[in-house]
Chain A
């Protein structure tokens, strides 16, 4: 048997690949196959090139070539002084930059805004990178701790009490209102046709109010005791910490499995104490900067971040309510969602600005920014509810049934099995809603809040900088900022989508 390898006619190794014909690859190939392969295509290519030529060239010329880069006032940006047809007037942006970013936030306090921005970035970036660990801790820091800290950083001021006094105050308010409603019913029963019925209901409501009063009596008494001693914040804090930790311990399973919950509760309270001490919240905190001084990018970011943080829980609650089998809750959720989705955001903002104050007790004024935030939270919450519902519908029934077979309650099934999977499904949709929320924040400028767009519009009326190109320069600058944020978010949503669908790709 002869050895094949020894035969001189058999190749030992493969020939090297020849390069693809130059006509089919690279730029030449692109030109031949996608640009100039037929008369129609040649025509279309010329059309496209003309379109680009007439948009890109003037833009670049305006933004770069013909731009004025330095100057003190409008004189620098006038054609007669510059000696050429002036494009963008960048010194105007330089002069207005603080106003566009901080609004009228006092100059000495702007470090607080910067610190908040830095904190947000430091917390957000690790949350967005999927490979980094401790997503739960990171998310709770960003979504719960950060908003509170940011509030005290941006707004300033301190706290008078802590959890105990707040709870007691809230319960007292609730109880007073119930008793008030009961007495109003009793008053009506004297004149109404269904008097006896109203009398019975009214007495029942008053009775309930009295019962609640006795129930919360220990709490209010304790509160009054604590208000008496010095360092009332810290005393209140200690009591709240003990009570909450004990409840966490008990809910976590008592001495059998509750130690972990106890430890995390104690760690959380130590962290809260550190923050309170560091920011001096017990002694009055930072100087107060009222929200009518806020403006520019600061307001845009505050409104969008608050909207994102508050709309998600509202959306989840509404989505669960809409899928509930309990009739009243389902009907309420559907009506609520459809109502907010059916009206334009601007009417919601009008509602929040003009109608909401009428619904609140007279001695209770709500800040203009907070009113807009409430409107936006309700509006976005309804949209998020539909997104979340899509995710819930995508979870197979078997998941819930398996959980029920294991003996989990509805709450545990929902929070441990269904929601985590559903939310993971809809992250791209949620991010897309956040993009539209970010764009929609510009509407607050209509109800007299100065966000980025509102500040920009206000800066146009400054006679010091009024030139023919001022408006175009301002819009170019604000447009670039908006575009960077929205485009960044949309790319991130695409990235997450690809990652989620990795198993479907082939």
Chain B
């Protein structure tokens, strides 16, 4: 004979109280009402003040201004843009410029960051000191200071285009910016791109197949010769058949400036340099901490299993370090994207500079413009944090399994 535990009474009133007021019960409900009243009061004050102030300044609220002509030029645009385009297009141009400088900055920051981290972890005493000095100096100076330093001191001190510094005769650095060869698509471009895409897809499929074979049958398949063939050999063969995909146009000095090639404006150079070196110092510390967080025994266990040093690093140490590295690394990428808004200080036409700066001073639509600018950055960071929480969930699941 078994006695079953009696069910607890439903306690509906208690549950409602808990939902409405948390642990504090009815007191919590009262606090919420007071809080809501204060918020409502502040909101009412803001709205009524804003309405009177806008009426006094004769500004029409709303997003109608986005269809008006901007009437100013932007010195770096990725999409066609003229002064007679609308403010909405200015917004897109600025956003694209922000994204470009962020992506380029992230690439170089990761590169420099990993190099500096390897320097700091190196058994060589001198090299690790050099890495440490780099990190300490860069991290203890404000980013705006560094941007202005590159822009006002270093780039301004460069010679004019006639005496520009030649980088291997193909790129030229002067106080007017960096001139690099430009790519011009040839008639072989379309087949080349198609074959390249095909190669990438095939290589990914091959990797998937090899990994499945490894995990399910314990079979090690060497795929890198095939991948190399798919990614390099196949496009090369297409090039021979269909002709060159690109031709390079080299910049030539003509008169006082360069003709041909594409010019990267000095603001972009300064901003990318400052952003990537600054963020690299933080990335270096993150990578170092991540690699040091893997216990020494893991390396020893790997070598006792007979794996080579490279294989131990690749298969055992790095995957475990990545788990620690990736979340703060993403955070740094996000920081870099947000910090690219400092472009406004040197006049690089990013979102804040052309939209929250020039457009705001021309239209006076402060509320709409700043709300849009903040909204975009907020959207980017919320998306990133959503992706990161999915990643964190997957990592914790794989650890639990």
Contacts and interface: CB of A to CB of B under 8 A. Distances in A.
A403 interface: no
A66 B110 CA distance: 37
A440 B145 CA distance: 10
Given A343-B338, A355-B367, A327 B374 contact: no
A358 B136 contact: no
Contacts of B153: 471-472, 475
Interface in B15-49: 19-24, 28, 31-32, 35-36, 39, 41, 44-46, 48-49
A339 B137 contact: no
A329 B342 contact: no
Given A324-B22, A362-B49, A439-B143, A343 B378 contact: yes
A431 interface: no
B341 A347 contact: yes
A442 B144 contact: yes
Contacts of B56: 362
Residue among A52, A177, A330, A475 with most chain B CB within 10 A: A475
A362 B55 CA distance: 11
A443 to B, nearest CB: 6
B127 A479 contact: no
A51 B145 CA distance: 23
Given A329-B35, A471-B153, A483-B137, A344 B41 contact: no
Given A34-B123, A327-B32, A328-B36, A486 B378 contact: no
The dominant DSSP class at the B interface is helix
Given A439-B142, A440-B142, A30 B125 contact: yes
Interface string A101-120: 00000000000000000000
A45 B31 CA distance: 66
B356 interface: yes
A346 B50 CA distance: 22
Contacts of B342: 346, 443, 446
Contacts of B32: 326-329
Interface string A467-506: 0100110010011001100110010000000000000000
A347 B145 CA distance: 18
Given A471-B156, A471-B157, A41 B124 contact: yes
A232 interface: no
A34 B352 contact: no
Interface residues of A, number: 66
A475 B145 contact: yes
Interface in B86-138: 122-127, 129-130, 136-137
Contacts of A346: 341-342, 344, 352
A410 interface: yes
A330 to B, nearest CB: 8
B193 interface: no
Contacts of A338: 382
B360 interface: yes
A230 interface: no
B140 A483 contact: yes
Given A341-B381, A468-B157, A358 B352 contact: no
A199 B344 CA distance: 49
A181 B41 CA distance: 8
B377 A48 contact: no
A475 B153 CA distance: 8
Nearest to B364: A354
A125 interface: no
Interface in A11-58: 30, 34-35, 41, 44-45, 47-49, 51-52
Contacts of B123: 34, 41
Contacts of A483: 137, 140-141
A202 to B, nearest CB: 12
B382 to A, nearest CB: 6
Nearest to A360: B49
B159 to A, nearest CB: 12
B124 A48 contact: yes
B145 A478 contact: yes
Contacts of A328: 32, 35-36
A359 B50 contact: yes
A88 B52 CA distance: 54
A325 B373 CA distance: 33
B149 interface: yes
B41 A354 contact: no
B320 interface: no
A343 B377 contact: yes
A453 B339 contact: no
A351 B148 contact: no
A298 interface: no
Nearest to B54: A358
B354 to A, nearest CB: 13
Contacts of B152: 457, 460, 471, 475
A342 B370 contact: no
A178 interface: yes
A34 B144 contact: no
A320 B140 CA distance: 31
A453 B145 contact: yes
A361 interface: yes
A184 interface: yes
A457 B342 CA distance: 15
A461 B173 CA distance: 25
Interface in A340-370: 341-347, 350-351, 354-355, 357-362
B124 A45 contact: yes
B206 interface: no
Contacts of B148: 453, 457, 475
Contacts of B23: 325
Contacts of B196: none
Contact of A51 (B48, B49, B130, B137): B130
A211 B395 CA distance: 58
A354 B144 CA distance: 21
B389 interface: no
B345 interface: yes
Q: Which 6 A-B pairs have the closest CB atoms?
A: A325-B22, A34-B125, A486-B140, A48-B126, A344-B338, A439-B142
27 contacts: A35-B126, A41-B123, A41-B124, A48-B124, A177-B41, A184-B44, A325-B24, A325-B28, A326-B24, A329-B35, A330-B22, A341-B381, A343-B377, A347-B352, A351-B370, A354-B370, A358-B50, A358-B53, A358-B366, A361-B49, A440-B142, A441-B142, A442-B144, A446-B345, A453-B144, A457-B152, A471-B152
Given A35-B124, A330-B22, A360-B49, 18 more contacts: A52-B126, A181-B41, A325-B28, A326-B22, A341-B381, A344-B377, A346-B341, A351-B370, A357-B53, A361-B49, A439-B141, A445-B144, A446-B144, A468-B157, A475-B145, A478-B145, A486-B140, A487-B140
Interface of B: 19-24, 28, 31-32, 35-36, 39, 41, 44-46, 48-50, 52-54, 56, 122-127, 129-130, 136-137, 139-145, 148-149, 152-153, 156-157, 338-339, 341-342, 344-345, 352, 356, 360, 366-367, 370, 373-374, 377-378, 381-382
